Amino acid sequence: MSLTALGPSVIAKRLYRSDRIHTALPGVEALDDAAIAAYHRDGFVAIDNVFTPDEVAAGLAGITKLVADGDPKIISFEDAVADRHITGEEREKFVRKCMGFVEHEPRLKALAYHEKFLAIVKKLVGSDVELLQDMALLKPPMVGREKPWHQDSAYFPYGPASLLIGTWTALDAATLENGCMHMIPGSHLEGGKAHYHDRDCQLPDEEVDVARDVAVPLKPGGALFFSSLIHHGTPPNASPDRRRAVQYHYRSVNAKKLDLGEFEQMFHDSHGVAGCASWAYGFKVRPVDSREI
């Protein structure tokens, strides 16, 4: 059953645990063979101190500039402020997401192509890579809404999924209170699952294996690397603290573009395709009440 009507606080309590906490590796040098094996087993690895404080500060300055410029093709607001006038000074407190900005903001492009960062991505994927998507998820204080549980491959027309990887870098401290990432370890090994539109394009609430949920708090400059098939999400931010992060997705140079039939094999139910890549294939994202019961 969808929990949407019960509101954000109930959703946060029922769908996200706070008693199972993942500990990040202390630095890039700790990414040894055992850590890489754990990444392939669990579907993710978190590493502190990937970026320096100066690089984090540059990233934050880049986001502030993007938001101040106010390009509607790049920034989008939280629903809570959809009907109010936002001045330049107030705007960053209410922006949900910046997207498609690497060619507009050199400081954020530098993070996406950072040599040490990309070396980790290539090591985990096993090949050279190309940037697939860039976005910054800002989760502003008190109004930052949930990003429901999902698989990233449900959004992307490339495969095989093992050749795609997501990265999520904290620019503010990402905590249990302000909406850090949550993961279901090992869920990437279970294949693609049907996705439907409810609070977003997402896995149905009743299919989230909350008992296996692990929270992944990060310090500023820490980064999370994860499989494009792992089940993950972030709860709403009901705290007074900002939680700004940049997310870059990469695909191996060996990945290929999937046709609709190949995508549908991964994300379907008995009624047909049930994924989030409508932008690529032209199908309609289906409402959650159209799923199989």
Blockwise average pLDDT, block size 10, the chain, 293 residues:
94 97 98 97 98 98 91 85 64 89 96 98 98 95 95 98 98 98 98 97 97 98 98 97 97 98 96 96 94 68
Domain with residue 233: its CATH number is: 2.60.120.620
What pTM did the predictor assign?
A: 0.95
105 vs 12, 50, 65, 117, 147, CA distance in Å?
Answer: 33, 20, 8, 18, 24
3 state DSSP class of 289? helix
| Strand stretches in 163-255, DSSP E | 164-170, 181-183, 196-197, 201-202, 214-216, 223-227, 232-234, 245-252
Residue with tokens 């500990």, as numbered in its chain: 23
Distance in angstroms (rounded) separating the CA atoms of residues 171 and 191: 31
* pLDDT number for residue 79: 77
Number of separate domains in the chain: 1
Domain of 267, in residue numbers: 4-290
- 3-state SS assignment for residue 135: strand
d(CA 213, CA 231): 9
Residues sharing a CB contact under 8 Å with residue 133, sequence separation 6 or more, in sequence order: 99, 156, 247, 248, 249
